Amino acid sequence: MLYNTLKREKQVFVPQDPARVTLYACGPTVYNYAHIGNARPAVIFDLLFRLLQQRYAQVIYARNITDVDDKINTAAAEQKVPIEVISKRFSDAYHADMAALGVGLPSVEPRATDHIPNMIRMIERLLESDHAYEVDGHVLFAVESYADYGLLSGRDMQEMIAGARVEVAEFKRHPGDFVLWKPSIPPQPGWDSPWGWGRPGWHLECSVMCEEHLGETVDIHGGGQDLVFPHHENEIAQSVCSHGGNVFAHYWMHNGFVTVNKRKMSKSLGNTLVVHELLKHTPGEVLRYLLLSAHYRQPLDWSDEALVRVRRTIDRIYGVLRDASSKHGPVSAADSPSDEFMETLLDDLNTPQALAELNNEARRLANAENQEVAKQSAGKVLAAGALMGLFQCDPQAWLAGDTEGVDETLIQQLIDERAVARENRNFTRADEIRDQLLGMGIVLEDVADGCRWRRADADRV
């Protein structure tokens, strides 16, 4: 069951071919570090990919890297380095950041620059069928040649012209026409083409890479909500028109925005949160949980309070897992999560409710009175976590936190000294030691078989 932007309703997902399910998600343009808004679709479609793989024998998930774009050219010019340096640096960073968020690699990760000949062929087909025209070294797509243009975004071209706020380039036949190919001037990147030396327009790479790696028609195509128009609308136009009218994608999924303190994240507001930076202070798992804590189609508000909240929730669950294994022996993931969990996740990726189910199971685990119940509950928690990319760390290691800069020997000495003091019922001294450690950011927990310590929340978020 998936919400389809095209139909504006939830639909039962029926693949064209259950033996080969295809998913395409718009990946990053590599001109800068990924911000948390880029991470949201990466995490969501990673989860969708995991779910599909559970249900279908073969799932091909393509997530592209756009490595030819004017923003890359600008970044290269500013930093006075070749564009390849920029695209290499930030695609590497993207991989590292996404890996930290538990995002696996897609089946294929095509790059725009590896598909220039195919792009040229697609443009030629569009020219031949009069869906495109050439002017001064530019090739433009003629939106009037495609009757269904605007269907995905629910737009009427006439109305859009009336409300247009942007000056239209002289050479366009219709204000909505968009560039398929444009001339380049060094140091801009360029390739030889029938229309001179130049480079592809934005939208084209996704159409071509879908065609190349997944086929003319894909099952699911996804991306951020802001891509609905014009990016995906234009992709549809190009693909349908160059494929003799064949459907481009059956299901369209779009994720909502990440806002920061209720405001849309944007460069102009200076409130973009870069994953690379967030990871310096926050484990990727916390970021992932937070990204999954709201439904993917809803806006997600990012704040320090939210980060703290998620941190505490995760700590509690790891704590329950740790206590369970020390009380009932080692636990491992069950074959599958609970039915409730799967059901809700399969209902248009209802991750908040799925996490609620996971929390319910964790509570059952904490309340488990015997080993059998405990192992069963722990198995469900771990299986659910595995599917969502959460709770795969060793609980003890997670709770100990980052021990860098912590003098473990000194802590142990103090704990031993405190144990002696407690033995002698010298609680004044014992509490003194506990306060001293707290001052160092260390919290003590007395348990049946001794005393364990962890870093205080404040130092770990």
Partner RNA sequence: GGCCAGGUGGCAGAGUGGUUAUGCUGCGGCCUGCAAAGCCGUCUACGCCGGUUCGAUUCCGACCCUGGCCUCCA
- Binding to RNA, residues 66-105 (CB under 7 A): 71
356 touches RNA by CB under 7 A: yes
In the complex with RNA, the residue whose CB is nearer, 274 or 386, is: 274
Question: Quick one: 159 exposed, middle or buried, by C-beta within 10 A (0-12, 13-18, 19+)?
Answer: exposed
Backbone conformation region of residue 136, classed left if phi is above 0, alpha if psi is from -120 to 50, else beta? left
- Within 10 angstroms of residue 268's Cβ, the number of other Cβ atoms is 7
Distance CA 21, CA 56 (A): 7
Rule CB under 7 A: which of 391-430 touch RNA?
422, 427, 430
User: Is residue 389 at the binding interface for RNA, with CB under 7 A as the rule?
Assistant: no
Please identify, among the stretches 11-19, 89-97, 306-314, 382-390, the one whose residues bind RNA according to the rule CB under 7 A: 306-314
Please check whether residue 357 is in contact with residue 330, taking contact to mean a CB–CB distance below 8 angstroms: no
Q: Is 37 in the site for RNA (CB under 7 A)?
A: yes
**Binding flag, residue 165, RNA (CB under 7 A):** yes
Instruction: Please classify residue 365 by burial: count the beta carbons closer than 10 Å to its beta carbon, then call 0-12 exposed, 13-18 middle and 19+ buried.
Output: buried
Residue 229 touching RNA (CB under 7 A): yes
Pick one of 135, 160, 247, 411: the residue that binds RNA (CB under 7 A): 160
Q: Which residues pair with 362 in a beta bridge?
A: none
Only segment of 12-20, 189-197, 309-317, 382-390 that touches RNA (CB under 7 A): 309-317
Shortest gap between Cβ of 20 and RNA (angstroms)? 25
The residue within the footprint of RNA, chosen from 104, 183, 352, 441 (CB under 7 A), is 352
Rounded to whole angstroms, the Cα distance separating 15 from 249 reads 11
Given 11, 118, 336, 350, the residue binding RNA (CB under 7 A) = 350
Q: Which of residues 246-275 bind RNA (CB under 7 A)?
A: 255-259, 262-266
| CA end-to-end distance (rounded Å), the chain | 36
Our finding on whether 50 is near RNA (CB under 7 A) is no
Q: Which residue has the tokens 């243009």?
A: 149
Contact between 185 and RNA by CB under 7 A: the answer reads no
Q: Does 445 bind RNA (CB under 7 A)?
A: yes
Rounded to whole angstroms, the Cα distance separating 399 from 453 reads 9
Is residue 188 a contact residue for RNA (CB under 7 A)?
A: no
Contact range with RNA by CB under 7 A, out of 211-219, 227-235, 242-250, 370-378:
227-235
Instruction: Find the shortest distance in angstroms from Cβ 58 to RNA.
Output: 26
- Contact between 355 and RNA by CB under 7 A: the answer reads yes
Distance CA 280, CA 419 (A): 35
The correct pick among 89, 111, 174, 309 for binding RNA (CB under 7 A) is 309
Nearest CA among 245, 247, 119 for reference residue 180: 119
One of 135, 247, 306, 400 touching RNA (CB under 7 A): 306
363 lies in the site for RNA, by CB under 7 A: yes
Query: Rounded to the nearest whole angstrom, what is the least distance from the CB of residue 401 to RNA in the complex?
Result: 13
Within 10 angstroms of residue 80's Cβ, the number of other Cβ atoms is 7
Q: How far apart are CA 389 and CA 18, in angstroms?
A: 25
CB of 62 to RNA, least distance (A): 15
Residue 294 interacts with RNA (CB under 7 A)?
yes
Residue 326 touching RNA (CB under 7 A): no
Q: State which of residues 13, 21, 23, 38 lies at the interface with RNA (CB under 7 A).
A: 38
Amino acid at 1: M
312 near RNA, judged by CB under 7 A: yes
DSSP string covering 14-59: --S-TTSEEEEE---BSSS--BHHHHHHHHHHHHHHHHHHHHSS-E
Name the one range near RNA by CB under 7 A: 12-20, 104-112, 134-142, 314-322: 314-322
- Cα–Cα distance for residue pair 325/350, rounded to 1 Å: 29
Q: Are 98 and 39 in contact (CB under 8 A)?
A: yes
Stretch that binds RNA, among 84-92, 190-198, 209-217, 353-361 (CB under 7 A): 353-361
Of 15 and 100, the one with the shorter C-beta distance to RNA is 100
Q: List the structure tokens of 250.
A: 């059956």
- One residue of 11, 53, 118, 293 binding RNA per CB under 7 A: 293
